Amino acid sequence: MDAILQLESLESGYGEVQVLWGVSLQVQPGKMTTIIGANGAGKTTTLLTTMGRLRAWGGRVIFKGQDVTHLPAYAKVQLGLVLVPEGRKLFSGMTVRENLEMGAYCPRSRKQIAQNVDRVYTLFPKLKERLRQKAGTLSGGEQQMLAIARGIMEEPQVLMIDELSLGLSPVLAQQLFLTLKTLKGQGLTIVLIEQNVHLALALGDYAYVLAEGRVHLEGPSHEVANLDEIRKAYLGL
Whether residue 22 lies inside any domain: the answer is yes
Residue numbers of the domain that contains 22: 1-79+189-237
| Residue pLDDT, tens place only, 172-217 | 888 899 999 999 999 999 999 988 888 899 999 999 999 999 999 9
| Residue pLDDT, tens place only, 54-93 | 999 999 999 999 999 999 999 999 999 999 988 778 988 9
CATH code (residue 15): 3.40.50.300
Whether residue 160 lies inside any domain: the answer is no
Whether residue 143 lies inside any domain: the answer is no
Q: What is the pLDDT of residue 105?
A: 75
229 pLDDT tier (thresholds 50, 70, 90): confident
Whether residue 74 lies inside any domain: the answer is yes
Q: How far apart are CA 49 and CA 202, in angstroms?
A: 27
Whether residue 105 lies inside any domain: the answer is no
Task: State the chain's mean pLDDT as an integer.
Answer: 91
Whether residue 180 lies inside any domain: the answer is no
User: What's the number of domains the chain is made of?
Assistant: 1
Q: What is the pLDDT of residue 237?
A: 44
